[in-house]
Amino acid sequence: MRSVTTIRRAALAAAAVASLGLINAPSAAANWTSYISSWTDGNESRRWADESYSQVQFTNCFAQYGTQDSVVVKMWQDKPLATDPSYGSKTFTNCFKGSGYTSNGEWTGLPSGDFYFEADKIAQGGSCCLLNVSTVYVDTTQAD
C-alpha cells in the first residue's frame, strides 16, 4: 500500500507536467471562421497567432434585448502569467443593418503573439443584452 506522501508527490508531479503543456501549447490557427451565440459584455473569442495585422469581421448581428444596434470589439494580446495589453477597440454597427451586412475592424502594427477579441458595450452595455453574430471571420493576412 502506498503512503499518502507518495500519492501526493505523484499528483503534484502530474499537475506540474499538465500545466507545462498548457503554457507551451501551440497557438491556434491564424485565420478562422465561427459564430457568436448569446454573448454578454466581457465574453472573449478563441486565441489565434499573429505577427502584425488582424482583421475581425462580423456578419449579420443581433443584440437580443438591446435598444441600440452596436457592439464594441476590443483587441487584446494574450500574455500568460502577465497582464494582457490592449490594442484598442472598434465599434461595429453596420452588421446590425440586416441580412448580409458586415462590420470590419483592422488592427495593424501588432507584435508577434497570440491575440483575442472581447465583446464590450453590446447594445446599451451592461449585462442586459445578448449578442448573436451569424459569421465571425478573423484574418491575419493583410495582403488580401
Residue 28 has pLDDT above 90, yes or no: no
Burial class (CB within 10 angstroms; exposed 0-12, middle 13-18, buried 19+) of 55:
middle
Instruction: Judge: domain 32-139, CATH 2.40.50.
Output: no
Q: pLDDT tens digits, residue range 72-108?
A: 999 999 999 999 999 999 999 999 999 999 999 999 9
Q: For position 100, what pLDDT does the model report?
A: 94
DSSP result, 32-53 = EEEEEEEE-TT-B---EEESSE
Residues 12-23, mean pLDDT to the nearest whole number: 40
Q: What spatial distance separates the first Cα and last Cα of the chain, rounded to whole Å?
A: 64
Predicted confidence (pLDDT) per residue in 38-65, tens digit: 999 999 999 999 989 999 999 999 999 9
* Res. 30 pLDDT band, cuts 50 70 90: confident
pLDDT of residue 11: 42
Q: Which of 86, 87, 89 is nearest to 121 (CA)?
A: 89
Under 8 Å between Cβ of 74 and 84: no
The model carries a pTM of: 0.78
Which of the pair, 28 or 58, is modelled with greater confidence?
58
DSSP codes joined into one string, 97-115 = SSTT-EEEEEEESPPSEEE
Q: Answer yes or no: are the C-beta atoms of 98 and 50 closer than 8 Å.
A: no
Please compute the mean of the pLDDT values over residues 116-124 and round it to a whole number. Answer: 96
Q: Which residues pair with 89 in a beta bridge?
A: 74
Q: Please, what is the average pLDDT of the chain?
A: 85
Maximum distance among all Cα pairs of the chain, rounded to whole angstroms: 68
Three-state DSSP class for residue 140: coil
